[in-house]
Amino acid sequence: MPACPHPLGAHMSIAGGLDRAFARAEAVGGTALQIFTKNASQWRGKAIDDASARAFRTAWEKSGIGPVLAHASYLINLAAPDTELWEKSKAAFLDELQRCARLGIPWLVLHPGSHRGEGEEAGLTRVVTALQEILADSPAEVGVLLENTAAQGDYLGGRFEHLAEILARVPQGRLGVCFDTCHAFAAGYDLAGPEGYRLVMDEFDRRVGVESIRAFHLNDSLKGLGSRVDRHEQIGRGAIGRAGFAALMTDPRFTAIPKILETPKGEDDAWDRINLTLLRKLAQGD
């Protein structure tokens, strides 16, 4: 098979050290990588010392991995109406941006958060205010990628308009979008075939702008269109199916954009290998 120009990879474990993620990524055939920079179920992690930062950067330089992204903790809720949680979330997110800067990671992926019943506009305003404050105090070399969500419950980001509003109201130029295929489909955007894919991307372009997409999360959907249920499935084995991913993998606008799997891994990360192989075949038109 000819070399695939798409930067493709998966979210990999950092067990045993941040730098070990690179060997794991290469073992499944990845050329891109996403990690948590700490335990995602904790508010704060152990500080990244000089030795750990050097080991990470050295492993990256010696590897065949190109783009590296980090994903913020799911505990963070910048839309929270509760002041204590909001302040705690802002501090945690600032810490994660600083951790990325230590490691040389240019993008940190963030879920916009839940308005907890206070309404979308109130929640969006909280997110915008938080990001304006955080970006003013954080390392300029790290940007934020807002991830679209499955529109479950009170979560923001299920509609493209939410992303557009945040991008428009935080004009520092350090924001982009991480487009999750499962989330979009679960939120009601039909990516299941070439025509559906075209219509969804046309709508995204009108409302947000495809140039804002700096990364993809490639996940099939276990549940149906508009289910608002975030359950990832292996590529081509869910409700989106192979045709939807083929349309994305052959869209020349996104060839250079990193694409990350967040699908169930199986024993010894076997499903990552299977999914990455399939995506490369789809990129070749197979």
pLDDT, tens only, 252-282: 999 999 999 999 999 999 999 999 999 999 9
Residue 4: per-residue pLDDT: 86
Residue 213: per-residue pLDDT: 98
Question: Among positive and negative, which fits the CA dihedral 203, 207, 209, 215?
Answer: negative
The annotation status of 180 as a binding-site residue, yes or no, is yes
| Long-range pairs, 166-171, Cβ under 8 A, ≥24 | 166/112, 166/124, 166/127, 166/128, 166/131, 167/208, 167/212, 169/124, 169/128, 170/128, 170/131, 170/132, 170/135
The annotation status of 230 as a binding-site residue, yes or no, is yes
Residue 2: per-residue pLDDT: 56
Helix (H/G/I), strand (E/B), else coil: 144: strand
Q: Point out the residues of the chain with pLDDT beneath 70.
A: 1-2, 172
Q: 8-283 maps to which CATH number? A: 3.20.20.150
The annotation status of 115 as a binding-site residue, yes or no, is no
Residue 223: per-residue pLDDT: 97
Residue that the structure tokens 């934020």 belong to: 144
The annotation status of 251 as a binding-site residue, yes or no, is no
**Residue 191: partners with Cβ closer than 8 Å, 6 or more residues away:** 181, 184, 185, 197, 200, 240, 244, 247, 248
Residue 41: per-residue pLDDT: 87
Residue 284: per-residue pLDDT: 93
Residue 241: per-residue pLDDT: 97
Residue 268: per-residue pLDDT: 93
248 C-beta neighbours (distance < 10 Å), count:
25
What is d(CA 107, CA 39) in angstroms, rounded to the nearest whole number? 18
The annotation status of 6 as a binding-site residue, yes or no, is no
